[in-house]
Structure 1
Amino acid sequence: MEVVIGRQLPAGGASYPLNVNEPQPLHRSEDHGGGETEDVRGWTGPVANHASSSAETPAPEALAIGRPNPFSNPTPKGAPTSAPAASSVRRRRKIRVQAAAHTFESFKHRNFRFVWASTFFSSGGFWLQQIVIGWLTYDITQSAFLTTLAMGLDALPILFIGPMGGLLVDKLERRLLLAGVLTYQATITLTFAVIVWTGMVETPYIFAYILMMGLAWVILDPARMSLIPNSVPKENLVNAFALNSLGFSATRLAAPAMGGAVLALVGPGPALVIEASLQLTAMAAALSIRLPKVDRGTLKLSSAFNELLEGARYVKAQPVVLSAMILGILPPLISFPYVSGLMPVFAAEVFYTGSVGLGLLMSSLGAGSVIGTLLLASLGDVKRKGRLITVAVVCTGCAMLGFSFVRSLAWALPALALVSVGMMLFFAETSALIQSIVSDEFRGRVSSLYSLTFGALPVGSFLAGSMAQKLGAPSATLIASVVLVSAALMFTLWNRALWRAG
Structure 2
Amino acid sequence: MFRSLSNRNYRLFSAGQVVSNTGTWMQRVAQDWLVLDLAHGSGTALGITTGLQFLPMLLFGLWGGVIADRYSKRRVLMLTQVSMGALALVLGVLAVTGSAQVWHVYVLAFGLGVATVVDNPTRQAFVVEMVGRRDLPNAIALNSASFNGARLLGPAVAGVLIALLGTGPVFLLNAASFGAVLFGLYAMRTDELRAAAPVKRAKGQLREGLRYVRGRRDLMLVLVLVGFIATFGMNFPTTTALVAKQTFHSDASSFGLASSMLALGALTGALLAARRASQPRMRLLVGSALVFSVLEVVTGLMPTFWSFLLLLVPTGIAMMTITTAANSTIQLSVAPEMRGRVMGLYMFVFLGTNPLGAPAVGWMAEEFGARASIVLGGMVGVATALVVGLFAAPRGSIRPALARVRLARPRTERRTEAAAEAGTVSEG
Q: Given the two structures, how large is their TM-score scaled by the length of structure 1? A: 0.70
**How much does 1:104 deviate?**
0.8
1:208 is matched with 107
Cα gap change, 1:477 to 1:266, in 2 (>3 Å): farther
Residue segments in structure 2 that go unaligned for 5+ positions in a row: 398-428
Size of the aligned set, in residue pairs, is: 391
- C-alpha distance in structure 1 between counterparts of 2:52 and 2:363, whole Å: 15
**How much does 1:416 deviate?**
2.6
1:439 is matched with 335
- C-alpha distance in structure 2 between counterparts of 1:450 and 1:173, whole Å: 20
Cα gap change, 1:263 to 1:325, in 2 (>3 Å): same
**Between the two proteins, what is the percent identity of the paired residues?**
26
**How much does 1:432 deviate?**
0.9
1:324 aligns with 2:225: no
1:233 aligns with 2:129: no
1:414 aligns with 2:310: yes
1:482 is matched with 379
**How much does 1:324 deviate?**
0.9
Match for 1:223 among 122, 128, 152?
122
Q: Which amino acid aligns with 1:132?
A: A
> Do 1:159 and 1:455's aligned partners in 2 also have CA atoms closer than 8 Å?
yes
Cα gap change, 1:134 to 1:487, in 2 (>3 Å): farther
Deviations 1:378-422 (A, max 9, x none): 11215x621211222222223333333457664444333222212
Task: Please list, as runs of the form range in 1=range in 2, the aligned pairs for 1:91-490 lying within 5 A after superposition.
Answer: 103-137=1-35, 140=39, 147-148=46-47, 150-151=49-50, 153-292=52-191, 296-297=197-198, 299-300=200-201, 303=202, 305-337=203-235, 339-345=236-242, 350=248, 352-354=250-252, 357-382=254-279, 385-406=281-302, 410-453=306-349, 454-469=351-366, 473-490=370-387
> Do 2:285 and 2:325's aligned partners in 1 also have CA atoms closer than 8 Å?
yes
Residue segments in structure 1 that go unaligned for 5+ positions in a row: 1-102
> Do 2:3 and 2:135's aligned partners in 1 also have CA atoms closer than 8 Å?
yes
Deviations 1:445-491 (A, max 9, x none): 11111111021111112223344455554332233222222233233
Cα gap change, 1:254 to 1:492, in 2 (>3 Å): same
- C-alpha distance in structure 2 between counterparts of 1:487 and 1:295, whole Å: 34
**How much does 1:299 deviate?**
4.7
Q: Which amino acid aligns with 1:216?
A: A
Cα gap change, 1:369 to 1:206, in 2 (>3 Å): same
Larger relative contact order (CA 8 Å, sep ≥ 6): 2
**How much does 1:181 deviate?**
0.5
Q: Which protein is richer in strand relative to its size?
A: 1
- C-alpha distance in structure 1 between counterparts of 2:30 and 2:255, whole Å: 10
Give 3-state SS (helix, strand or coil) of 2:134's partner. Answer: helix
1:493 aligns with 2:394: no
Cα gap change, 1:258 to 1:331, in 2 (>3 Å): farther
Give 3-state SS (helix, strand or coil) of 1:234's partner. Answer: coil
Cα gap change, 1:482 to 1:368, in 2 (>3 Å): same
- C-alpha distance in structure 2 between counterparts of 1:131 and 1:285, whole Å: 26
Q: Given the two structures, how large is their TM-score scaled by the length of structure 2? A: 0.81
Task: Please list, as runs of the form range in 1=range in 2, the aligned pairs for 1:43-58 lying within 5 A after superposition.
Answer: none
The CA RMSD over aligned residues, in Å, is 2.9
**How much does 1:137 deviate?**
4.6
- C-alpha distance in structure 2 between counterparts of 1:345 and 1:201, whole Å: 30
Cα gap change, 1:189 to 1:243, in 2 (>3 Å): same
Q: Which amino acid aligns with 1:166?
A: G
> Do 2:129 and 2:196's aligned partners in 1 also have CA atoms closer than 8 Å?
no
- C-alpha distance in structure 2 between counterparts of 1:466 and 1:149, whole Å: 17
Cα gap change, 1:118 to 1:408, in 2 (>3 Å): farther
- C-alpha distance in structure 2 between counterparts of 1:167 and 1:262, whole Å: 39
Q: Which amino acid aligns with 1:184?
A: S
- C-alpha distance in structure 2 between counterparts of 1:425 and 1:431, whole Å: 10
**How much does 1:163 deviate?**
2.4
Cα gap change, 1:272 to 1:492, in 2 (>3 Å): same
- C-alpha distance in structure 1 between counterparts of 2:318 and 2:43, whole Å: 26
- C-alpha distance in structure 2 between counterparts of 1:251 and 1:237, whole Å: 21
The more displaced of 178-187 and 195-204 is 195-204
Give 3-state SS (helix, strand or coil) of 1:336's partner. Answer: coil
